[in-house]
Amino acid sequence: MSGTSRIQDKFLELDSKNEKALIMYAVVGYPNEKDTLAVIRGLIKGGADIIELGFPFSDPLADGLVIQNASMLSLDKGTDLGQFFRLVSKIRQESDIPLVLMTYTNILYHQNYEKFFKEIKNAGIDGVITPDMTIEESKEYLKAARSNAIDTIFLVSPNTDKKRLGRIIRQTTGFLYLVAVYGTTGVQNKIQQYTIDALRNTKK
C-alpha cells in the first residue's frame, strides 16, 4: 500500500501527542438508519478517534448476545448494503474520522472481493475487520484490499502461537485486533491475567 491511510495518520497524530486511540463500535441499522447516524455523530462529538461500523450478519459467530440481538433487529428492519453506503456517505459529508467496516467474510465473498473493496473505498471506508477470515485463506482478500488501499485488520487471540502471530502481524495494516478474552464478545467484570500476558507477548 502506498502512502498512509486515515487510520495510520490518526495513530501518528495521537502518537505525536502521546495519546492512545479511542475506537468505538456501532451496529449499522440499529435501532434504525436515522438513529445509527445520530449515534455515530454522538461518538464523533464525544471524542472517538476511529469508528467501527458493524454490518449485521445472520450468523455472527464472534459476537456476544448484545451485538447478536442488535444485528438481528437491524436485519429484521431490512438493513442492506445500500443503506450502509448511504450511511457512510452521510458521515463522510460531515467528518474525516477513520471508518472501519466490521463484518463477516461471506458478505464480502458473495459480492466479489475486488468489487466490494472498490465500492467501500469509494464510499469512504478505510479498513476492514472480518473475524472469520483466516490468514491461510486470505490471499485473494489481501490482494483486493491492497489494490484498493484498504487496511486489513486481522484478529489474534491470547492463545495464538508465536509463529502464527508473526504471520498475522506481517499481513495486518492499520492496527492489530487483539481479542481480550476467550469466547465471544460481551460484558466483562475484570481483566484476566492471560489478557495481560497476551498484550505483553504481542507487543514484543
Half-sphere CA count of 112, side-chain side, radius 13 A: 4
Q: H or E stretch including 120?
A: helix 113-123
Options 49, 52, 126, 151, the catalytic residue: 52
Write the DSSP symbol of residue 54: E
What angle is formed at CA 152 by the lines to CA 151 and CA 158, rounded to 5 degrees? 135
68/122 Cα distance (integer angstroms): 28
Q: Annotated catalytic, 63?
A: yes
Q: Annotated catalytic, 119?
A: no
Is residue 87 within 8 Å of 37, Cβ to Cβ?
Answer: yes
In angstroms, the Cα distances linking 53 to 56, 128, 151, 201 are 9, 9, 14, 28
**How much is the CA Rg of the chain, to the nearest whole Å?**
17
Options 63, 94, 119, 136, the catalytic residue: 63
Which active-site residues does the annotation give? 52, 63
